[in-house]
Amino acid sequence: MAIPLLILVNAIITLVVSIAVTRGAAGGGNGIQLIMVNNCGESVWPGLLGTAGHPTPQSGGFHLGPGEEAAFEVAAGWSGRVWPRRGCKFDSRGRGSCATGDCGGVMRCGGAAGATPATVVEMTLGTPASAMHFYDVSLVDGFNLAVAMAPVGGGVGCGTAACGADVNVCCPSALEVRDREGRVAGCRSACRAMGGDRYCCTGAYGSPSTCRPSMFSHLFKAICPRAYSYAFDDATSLNRCRASRYLITFCPPQPS
């Protein structure tokens, strides 16, 4: 009997995570482990950026081929973001460009933010006032690849932050960003595409009571209900957890 594709993919990811956890444990660190898995059929170049006062891990970026994984530790209390870069070409010196998520034409972003559109994983892994971890997947800067973040082995009060669907498939033409081959590589947010306080939740619209989701935000939310669709989309998008390991999956498996 043939093994269902979803079961096979989940088994492969479980094996990859087990290997990553073993490697991370060998390091003997006391931080929080981030495990990144590329479940896509193409290469992904994760970009990383620590928020103000926090270091940027892995020099800000690296390459993950299809099926590859990487694991590293960040200190408790670390705050920052991770985003996928697609369609990248770099020379032997690590210089080049990406179709989406580019950070100044270098493989190692080194403190530079990624260009929009990009799907962003945001996290604050503890604060002076709280030991809880906060994390989300945000489409406020647009979308370029499906991403999910979840604790490994469960945790206290934990959930999954995700935009697991391919928003590019149904991206309105006014928001499309195309790669060198003419394929839709990203979908801009209304703020990035059209600007203005209303779409960007700034100025007179800079509060939860005055900034409401646009029709584009409603579209993003319908496709990815567990991701931020606009700046104040906290109720259904922000996750709270306390765990020692987190898995960030690019192109997460879809339920059958």
pLDDT in tens, 133-156: 999 999 999 999 999 999 998 777
Residue 255 belongs to a domain: no
Confidence grade of residue 17 (pLDDT, cut at 50, 70, 90): very low
Establish if 69 belongs to a structural domain. Answer: yes
Q: How far apart are CA 88 and CA 48, in angstroms?
A: 15
Return all residues near 98 (Cβ < 8 A) that are at least 6 apart.
45, 85, 86, 87, 88, 89
pLDDT tens-digit profile of 102-121? Answer: 999 999 999 999 999 999 99
* Token digits of residue 75: 């200190």
**Assigned domain for 57 exists:** yes
For residue 48, is pLDDT > 90? yes
CATH of the domain at 77: 2.60.110.10
Domain that holds residue 167: 5-250
Provide the domain count of the chain: 1
Q: How far apart are the first and last CA of the chain?
A: 18
Would you list the DSSP string of 198-238? HHHT-GGG-STTT----HHHHHHHHH-TTSBSSTT--TTT-
Identify whether 256 is part of a domain: no
For residue 122, is it within any domain? yes
- Confidence band of 234 (pLDDT split at 50, 70, 90): confident
85 within some domain: yes
pLDDT value of residue 40: 97
Domain annotation covers residue 239 = yes
The answer to pTM > 0.75 is yes
Residue 83 lies in a domain: yes
The pLDDT value recorded for residue 16 is: 43
For the chain, give the mean pLDDT.
88
